[in-house]
Each structure stands twice: as structure tokens, then as C-alpha cells.
């Protein structure tokens, strides 16, 4: 993976207002560990129910529990100015619930309310606008956000494509993908990591716009 690589990995199991998940947090941790340990990303911001606060160059650390307020603050503060450049890549991984409402896709944070999605969830439109400010040539979204009772249901995201952003969804709209008990992992993350490792071994598993 040429250039500098930075990433965000978010995984949420124990939602306050939605069905809990089994392996979303573990999936995000596995992706973080791959990025840091196997392909030596420069920095990975990790958000989960057990992750430590994120230090800043200036000011107090940012809360890393993936609540609505914490994620919005991080996206606002960290992406206010470019910090990457030509040839660089920024990766975003999310494992959890996603909801589509009024023709817009949303990622549900830890405290997201399915009865008030626009005011308590992170829209993919807002997310991509903020991530695009990082200055990297390539922004890659890896979205596993259609989970419901162990599988991903038809309310999940996946309809829209965002200009200038490489986006991989765990399933097509109105399809479901699954958490696999035998693997203790989501099917999407399992296949994703297999594909990335193939790429790392010099094979032709590449991501194109």
C-alpha cells in the first residue's frame, strides 16, 4: 500500500436502543490490528465501548466510546484541516447498525435512536464530506452496517455511492449478511481481511474507484 495510510475503525456491540451485536467490536479490533500490525499504517483511530481516549496535539483527549457526540466531535475537530497529501490513503471501517431514512444512509452510534435517526445518527453524506477534507488522494469506506439480530437486515445502508470515495458495503440493499459464530466474526470482515492479505502478498486483490 503505497503512500501514507491512516484509518478509523469503529465497532459497536451493546447498543443502547437497538438489538445488541456479537462480533462488531471484535471485527473493528481485528481490522485495527491488521492495519497497525501487518501493514504498518501510520495511525489508526479506534472507537469501541472499551477503547481508550484519543490524544490530540492540542487540547484534552477525545472520548473514543462511539457515541453520537464523540463521533461528531472527532469528525469535526480532526478533519478541519488537511493532514495527508498526494499519494496517501485514508480508510474508514464501521461495523454495527445502519439505517436508511428519507432516502439517506446513516450509521448508528452507540446511543443512536431509531425513532430520531436524523438527530442521533451519523449520515454518510456528512461522514464523506468530513473524511474528504483529510487531503488524501484516496478515501476508502468499508461499511458493515446492516446488522440486525445476528444478520444485516433490509433497513441497512448501501444504496448510494459517493463521488471520489471508494465504498465497499457488506451487502446490497435489501439483502442480508451474517455474523458467523464459528469464526467469532462477521462474514464481511472475514472476507475483507482475506482479500487485503492477498493484496499484501502481491496478488491482484485491488480496490478501484
Work out the number of other CB atoms within 10 angstroms of the CB of residue 165. Answer: 18
Helical spans, DSSP H, in 34-106: 68-78
Residue 150 lies in a domain: yes
φ and ψ at 107, to 5 degrees? -100, 130
- Whether residue 27 is contained in a domain is answered as yes
| Average pLDDT per block of 10 residues along the chain, 209 residues long | 89 94 93 94 96 87 95 96 95 92 90 95 96 95 69 49 71 54 70 79 41
As for how many domains the chain has, the answer is 1
- 150: buried, middle or exposed (CB in 10 Å: 19+, 13-18, 0-12)? middle
Q: Is 209 among the domain residues? A: no
pLDDT of residue 138: 94
Residue 203 has a pLDDT of 39
Residue 118: strand, helix, or coil: helix
Is 205 among the domain residues? no
Quick count: other Cβ atoms within 10 Å of Cβ 101?
14
Q: How high is the pLDDT of residue 162? A: 59
Question: What CATH number is given to the structural domain containing 153?
Answer: 3.40.50.1460
Report pLDDT for 153: 42
Q: Is residue 93 part of a domain?
A: yes
Instruction: State which residues form the domain around 109.
Output: 5-200
Amino acid at each position: 500500500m503505497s503512500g501514507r495510510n491512516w484509518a478509523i475503525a469503529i465497532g459497536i456491540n451493546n447498543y443502547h436502543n437497538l438489538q445488541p451485536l456479537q462480533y462488531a467490536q471484535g471485527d473493528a479490533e481485528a481490522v485495527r490490528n491488521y492495519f497497525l500490525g501487518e501493514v504498518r499504517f501510520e495511525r489508526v483511530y479506534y472507537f469501541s465501548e472499551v477503547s481508550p481516549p484519543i490524544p490530540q496535539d492540542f487540547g484534552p483527549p477525545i472520548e473514543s466510546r462511539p457515541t453520537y457526540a464523540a463521533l461528531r466531535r472527532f469528525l469535526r475537530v480532526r478533519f478541519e484541516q488537511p493532514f495527508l497529501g498526494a499519494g496517501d490513503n485514508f480508510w474508514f471501517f464501521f461495523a454495527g447498525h445502519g439505517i436508511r431514512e428519507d432516502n439517506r444512509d446513516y450509521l448508528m452510534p452507540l446511543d443512536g435512536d431509531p425513532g430520531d435517526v436524523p438527530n442521533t445518527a451519523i449520515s454518510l453524506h456528512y461522514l464523506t464530506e468530513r473524511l474528504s477534507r483529510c487531503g488524501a488522494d484516496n478515501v476508502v469506506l468499508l461499511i458493515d452496517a446492516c446488522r440486525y439480530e445476528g444478520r444485516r437486515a433490509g433497513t441497512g445502508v448501501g444504496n448510494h455511492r459517493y463521488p471520489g470515495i471508494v465504498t465497499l458495503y457488506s451487502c446490497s440493499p435489501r439483502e442480508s449478511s451474517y455474523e458467523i459464530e464459528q469464526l467469532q466474526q462477521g462474514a464481511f470482515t472475514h472476507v475483507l481481511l482475506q482479500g487485503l492479505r492477498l493484496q499484501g502478498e502481491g496478488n491482484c486483490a485491488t480496490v478501484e474507484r
